[in-house]
Amino acid sequence: MSLAFVAAVQAAPTVASVTHSEFQAVNASGEQTYNATEKVILEGLLLHNPADMLDPTPDDTIMQLFNISGQWQIFFQGEGDDHAGTSVWMGQLYNNLPWVALNGGYTNEEFTAELSRLNAAQFSPGDRIRVTGYYLSYNGKLNVNEQHSKNPDHDFTIELLERGVGLPRPEVVTLDDLKDNNDNFIFDPTRQTGGEYYQARLIKIKSVYFADANDWRPYGEVVITDGIKTLAVKLGRGNGIYAGSNNLAEPFDIIGILDQESANLTDGYRLYVMNYDGNGSVLASREHRRADKPGDLNLDGIVDYDDINELLEDWLK
């Protein structure tokens, strides 16, 4: 056996299959604690279309510090007792980060090729996927990513395990589940309550109002309230979110993915809503509304005889 072969074997990264719950474990300060392996393998249900979250359009002419240009991201959540979820992220111009070499970013052609590689499985929301890759912590969560390296040995992979499993039904959560009586976030390092328990999972909050809707736009941030407590809502870039498309009658329900974005690590939870279908009563993407009420075939918010008629019409065709 050659010394070169031995060195290559020794240099192979450690990797293991883990649950989302194991992967997202934190300590009392909110710091991520998983470090058993250099890479992880995670399985779960894809929660949204990646293009509804971040803009992957590449532009390698950008030189502004910290401007990554094209970005791609998904959330997928565990199943059964694995009550947690994980985000997977990739960016184009890592070289606009001060700690990355000047040639460390993707060209437009290279980034387009990476997007094609990731999307080759043609996965959709509700599909069961397997993700394998390196990881880094970021503002309260552990993300699978390339560790800001375009080297092919840092690529993460996404495998389609089963198509059309179905989106999980959103868990009904109240603002009391997320915030205390002083409107501060509940942080539980055991991840059995509060924001940590619901992080990176699909949830529904009923009967809320806008405390501030002035920033309604793609990538904007609005604020909802139950009349006492508040929660920030990050809007995605789905084609139903644009200036003037907010036609919601108050109170309304809201469905999205609970995210965390805070350098403090114990607060900064927010609800991420990727798209809106203009229905007027539920702030959510169409696929998330359908996951909430699978029997509501005509998506009018009510499961009734009209849905049965629609089913019969399709069945008799």
Residue 11 binned pLDDT confidence (cut-offs 50, 70, 90): confident
DSSP string, 126-195: T-EEEEEEEEEEETTEEEEE-TT---GGG--EEEEEETT--PPPPEE--HHHHB-TTSPBP--TTSSSHH
CB atoms under 10 Å from CB of 110, counted, come to: 14
pLDDT tens, position by position, 99-122: 999 999 999 999 999 999 999 889
Which domains occur in the chain, in start order? Answer: 3-162 (2.40.50.140), 171-292 (2.40.50)
pLDDT tens, position by position, 34-50: 999 999 999 999 999 99
Half-sphere exposure of 289 toward its Cβ, with a 13 Å CA cutoff?
Answer: 24
pLDDT at 2 (0 to 100): 54
pLDDT tens, position by position, 303-312: 544 444 443 4
Establish whether the linkage from the previous residue to 13 is cis, with ω within 30° of 0: no
Work out the mean pLDDT of the chain and round it to a whole number.
92
Cα–Cα distances in Å, from 24 out to 14, 61, 147, 176, 192?
Answer: 18, 36, 17, 23, 12
* Structure tokens given for 155: 């690529």
pLDDT tens, position by position, 176-190: 999 999 999 999 999
pLDDT at 295 (0 to 100): 57
Contact 270, 259 (CB under 8 A): yes
Per-residue pLDDT for 316 more than 90? no
- CA dist 234 and 68 (Å) reads 19
pLDDT at 294 (0 to 100): 80
The pTM score is 0.90
